[in-house]
Amino acid sequence: MTKEKFLRAVVGDPPLYISAFENAALESRLLSTKATLKAQKIEVAELVADLESRGRELSRRYQQVQLQTAQLNTLPEQIEGLKSTIARLQAAQEPKTDNPLLGMPLTKTLEVLAEKDAESSKLDREIEELRAAAERRTRELERVRTELEPLRAQRTRAVDDAQDAQTRKAQGISGLGDDLEQRGRWLRGVETTMRSILEAGA
């Protein structure tokens, strides 16, 4: 009861009396009202907590929206910068020479590279064949030179013998002059043949 009701009850005529039973009933209603009020306070507290959580979430989302808006405002300038960069890179990629091979696409470049590799392999095989042939020719020339050395020695002896025979012939001395002269001509022919073989091999 409020103070006003209490005072009216006391000073009223006749005064208002409340029995113990009425007080107990009032106390019971008061406890029920307090329990209801407490439940409502808990509900209100939960509602306030939920509203605060939603408020924080909305504030965070608002800040994100503001940040995204600022980023979107800078996009046109960034796009222009990227376009300029792309144009510069494309210009840098253009061939600076008149050689058409430098401006081919990747697939065509790989095909040309494969062709060049095949040609290089073919040339390597031909070089190996020529090197082997040159080695065989060198061995043959060495063998011919080795065979030619005793012939040169024989030619030198034959020339000496022929000169000696000519001297004897001029002096009228008979002997082996004719035979030595024939051997000298034969050795000269052999030397000429061997020399032509050596010059052809060189």
5-25 pLDDT, tens digit per residue, is 777 766 766 666 667 787 788
**pLDDT value at residue 91:** 77
Please say whether the dihedral angle defined by the alpha carbons of residues 20, 23, 27 and 29, taken in this order, is positive or negative: positive
* Residue 151 clears pLDDT 70, i.e. is over it: yes
Domain ranges across the chain: 17-94, 131-202
**pLDDT value at residue 18:** 67
**Confidence band for 72, pLDDT divided at 50, 70 and 90:** confident
**Confidence band for 48, pLDDT divided at 50, 70 and 90:** very high
Q: What is the pLDDT of residues 55-69, one digit of tens each?
A: 899 999 999 998 888
**Helix/strand/coil (H, E, C) string of the chain?**
CCHHHHHHHHHCCCCCCCCHHHHHHHHHHHHHHHHHHHHHHHHHHHHHHHHHHHHHHHHHHHHHHHHHHHHHHHHHHHHHHHHHHHHHHHHHHCCCCCCHHHHCCHHHHHHHHHHHHHHHHHHHHHHHHHHHHHHHHHHHHHHHHHHHHHHHHHHHHHHHHHHHHHHHHHCCCCCCHHHHHHHHHHHHHHHHHHHHHHHHHC
Q: What percent of the chain has pLDDT over 70?
A: 77
**pLDDT value at residue 140:** 84
